[in-house]
Amino acid sequence: MTGRFPIRTRVLHWLTAVAVFAALLIGFTMTNQIGSHAALVAVHMTLGISILVIVIVRAANRFTHKPPKWPDTVGPLEGRLIAGSELAMYAMLLVQPLVGWAMVSASDTPVRAFGLTLPGLVPFDADLYGILRQAHSVVAYLLVAAIAAHVSAILLHTLTLRDGMLRRMTH
């Protein structure tokens, strides 16, 4: 049996998971929801800013506290893959809300979250908006792929290897 993450890490992990799932779901569906588009955009922006804050706190927690030991089934190569994918996931989770914020700023639309108007990150620029919109979409699909790989790896360890990997983040 391997150790488990402290409660603060587990709470931050699952808050991130729920917020990212909701933001991705809304992001992929809001373009087809004409009647509720504005409300969905508002929720999506609030989720994005929430994710940014949670991930900053989470990264500070992760890089100042040593994680529990891997199960014995994790070899050196897999350990490096896990560490690399974790860094990539953190990078995407930080970049995605910032790109979204910059994209909305470039469209000359106010960025609102929690009833507050946030400062724009970039000036109005239609060309930049188009580039940032594409980047926001690409990072969203990369996040979906990374999450699918993450969940697949956890399922492999839980259902096939039965090594307690999932319990590190749930118990």
* Predicted pLDDT at 140: 98
pLDDT digits (tens, 9 = 90+) for 81-105: 999 999 999 999 999 999 999 999 9
* Predicted pLDDT at 49: 98
Whether 135 is in a domain gets the answer yes
Whether 138 is in a domain gets the answer yes
What pTM does this model have? Answer: 0.93
What is the pLDDT averaged over residues 145-152? 97
Whether 75 is in a domain gets the answer yes
* Predicted pLDDT at 2: 66
Q: What angle, rounded to 10 degrees, do the helices at 76-106 and 126-155 form?
A: 150
What is the pLDDT averaged over residues 132-138? 98
| Residues 133 and 31: beta-carbon distance below 8 Å | no
- Among candidates 41, 36, 56, 71, which has minimal Cα distance to 156? 71
Burial class (CB in 10 A: 0-12, 13-18, 19+), 55: buried
Average pLDDT along the chain:
95
Domain that holds residue 17: 7-169
* Predicted pLDDT at 139: 98
Tell me how many degrees the CA angle 152-153-154 measures, rounded to the nearest 5.
90
Whether 37 is in a domain gets the answer yes
Is the pLDDT score of 28 beyond 90?
A: yes
Is the pLDDT score of 1 beyond 60?
A: no
Quote the number of domains for the chain.
1
pLDDT digits (tens, 9 = 90+) for 31-85: 777 788 889 999 999 999 999 999 999 999 999 999 999 999 999 999 999 999 9
116 bridge partner residues = 113
Whether 2 is in a domain gets the answer no
Whether 1 is in a domain gets the answer no
* Predicted pLDDT at 151: 97
Write out the E strands in 46-165.
111-113, 116-118
Reported as a pLDDT band with limits 50, 70 and 90, residue 23 is very high
Whether 104 is in a domain gets the answer yes
Tell me how far apart the 2 most distant CA atoms of the chain are, in Å.
Answer: 54
- Give dist(CA 129, CA 100) in Å, integer: 10
CATH of the domain at 113: 1.20.950.20
